[in-house]
Amino acid sequence: MDISKKIVDDLVANDVSFITTVPCKQLAGVIEEVEARPEIFHIPSNKEDEGMGLCAGAFMGGKRPAIIMQNTAIGVTINTLATLTQYYRMPLPMLISYRGELREPVACQVEMAVHTKALLNQLNIPTYHFHKESDVDELDAILKYTFMCNKPVAILTDASFWGGYGDQ
Amino acid sequence: MIRSEILREIAPILRDQLVVCNIGLPSQELHMIDDQPSNFYMLGTMGLSSSIGLGLALSQPKTVISIDGDGSVLTNLGTLPTIANNVADNYILLIIDNGSYGSTGDQPTYAGKKTKLEAVATACGCENVVTCQDVDTGRVLQAAIDSKQMTVIVSKCDSGNIKLPVITMDPVVIRDRFMNAVAS
């Protein structure tokens, strides 16, 4: 199964048509797939809070948005999540590469990994953790849930889910 | 002129457009001068007025004006390359540049010193960047709307604030009536 294709198929099937991305090595395949789809307007952003602003505007313009980013971005976007996305009650699926988990080669990534779930929990953000490839089967339901309840929702995807980083 | 005087002067132009207004005093002033369902007031999240406006402009056909300040643009400077590289001809970024952080007590910004936001916007690739004086803002804004080309306006004005109440409207109400205005 091509996971990146399956993920973007689910996004398109749920009418997500405005996606902003800040790159991560793990997410390169998904971002490439997003860029390739004519149904999706892909707008790279320079920082994740800027991206969430773009998504808020797109939602108010009638589009279903999503953001693709690293978990380090949780540290950058707490104010935006609380005072924009949550305060105005807007939906936002956040597809997040969960760096710093098992098979991680870069020690510094662990420093934000240990805070990631605690921060999301503190923000009362519904959080799903994709660890095995089959976990992706829930994505369709998670997207429907996000646009049903008008909340930001986090989907953490770790290295095991993506099949590791190759030879270390 | 100070920012509230500019807003008072351009209110008749803004009334017919979708407006995303910056956090703090700018939103409070616009709300007091001419509250409209087509105004999206930011109650938090400094710096994102330009981003919200761009996302909105890219997602529907009506003209969108983001009212921003020099301090707020400086806090989200990454917005200018994103604007430049994703042209929406129904989008106008109006930067009211008074060289200070008005809502927090008029501390000077770097835009009031050596940094020229119009030069930054141009260097980022924005194609229609217009610098004007406060008194010319209405004329320049109307010309930008009529041009149907994405425009960044930097309006130079004096620093200074008026006393006025905070916005107590619920954010979901602001958002809901704004979305109805967008869709109407």
Q: What is the pLDDT of residues A7-55, one digit of tens each?
A: 999 999 999 999 999 999 899 999 999 999 999 999 999 999 999 999 9
Instruction: State the DSSP code for B2.
Output: B
H-helix or E-strand containing A30? helix A28-36
Strand spans (E) along chain B? 18-21, 39-41, 64-69, 91-97, 100-101, 107-108, 129-133, 151-156
* pLDDT tens, position by position, B131-147: 999 999 999 999 999 99
Query: What average pLDDT score do residues B149-154 get?
Result: 98
pLDDT for the residue B184: 95
Average pLDDT over residues B143-165: 96
Burial string for A29-59 (b: 16+ CB within 10 Å, else e) reads bbbebbeebeebbbbbbbbbbbbbbbbbbbb
* Fold (topology level) of B3-183: Rossmann fold (3.40.50)
pLDDT in tens, B48-81: 999 999 999 999 999 999 999 999 999 999 999 9
Q: Pull the structure tokens for residue B163.
A: 């006393």
- Contact list in A for residue B42 (CB cut-off 8 A) is 84
The minimal CB distance from B59 to the residues A47, A49, A61 is found for A61
How distant is the Cα of B18 from the closest Cα of chain A, in angstroms?
11
The SS3 call for residue B127 is coil
* Cβ neighbours of B47 in A, within 8 Å: 49-50, 53
pLDDT at B103: 85
Structure tokens at A163: 């099949």
User: Looking at CA atoms only, how far is residue B51 from chain A in angstroms?
Assistant: 5
> Using CB atoms, which residue from B55, B81, B178 is nearest to A53?
B55
**Is pLDDT at A166 greater than 70 in this prediction?**
no
* CA distance, residue B56 to nearest chain A CA (Å): 4
Whether the per-residue pLDDT at A62 is higher than 80: the answer is yes
Whether the CB-CB separation of B36 and B69 falls below 8 Å is answered with no
Domains of chain A: 3-157 (3.40.50.970)
pLDDT bracket for residue B42 (50, 70, 90): very high
What span, in angstroms and rounded, lies between the C-alpha atoms of B64 and B14? 10
Whole-number percent of chain B with pLDDT over 70 = 100
Token match 């589009």: residue? A63
In this model, does residue A99 exceed pLDDT 90? Answer: yes
Question: What residue ranges do the domains of chain B occupy?
Answer: 3-183
- A77: helix, coil or strand? helix
Q: Is A52 on the interface with B (CB under 8 A)?
A: yes
Ramachandran angles phi, psi of B142, nearest 5°: -60, -40
The pLDDT of B84-98, averaged and rounded, is 98
Is residue B37 within 8 angstroms of chain A, CB to CB?
Answer: no
Average pLDDT of the residues in B173-179: 98
Amino acid residing at B174: I
Cross-chain CB nearest to A79 (options B45, B56, B183):
B45
What confidence category does residue A76 fall into, taking pLDDT thresholds of 50, 70 and 90? very high
Q: What percent of chain A has pLDDT over 70?
A: 97
CB atoms within 10 A of CB B105: 8
Give residue A165's pLDDT.
65
Instruction: Give ipTM to 2 decimals.
Output: 0.97
Q: Which residues pair with A130 in a beta bridge?
A: A157
φ, ψ of residue A75 in degrees (nearest 5): -65, -30
Q: Phi and psi (nearest 5°) for A48?
A: -70, -30
Q: Which residues contact B153 (CB under 8 A, 6 or more apart)?
A: B92, B93, B94, B95, B129, B130, B131, B132, B137, B140, B141, B144
| Residue A168: per-residue pLDDT | 44
> At A51, which amino acid appears?
G
What does the pLDDT read at residue A35?
98
Residue A40 CB contacts under 8 Å (≥ 6 apart), including other chains: A8, A11, A12, A16, A17, A18, A19, A34
Answer for the pair B39, B19: CB distance below 8 angstroms, yes or no: yes
A100-154 pLDDT per residue, tens: 999 999 999 999 999 999 999 999 999 999 999 999 999 999 999 999 999 999 9
Give, in order, the Cα–Cα distances in Å from A164 to each of A5, A131, A158, B119: 18, 11, 8, 45
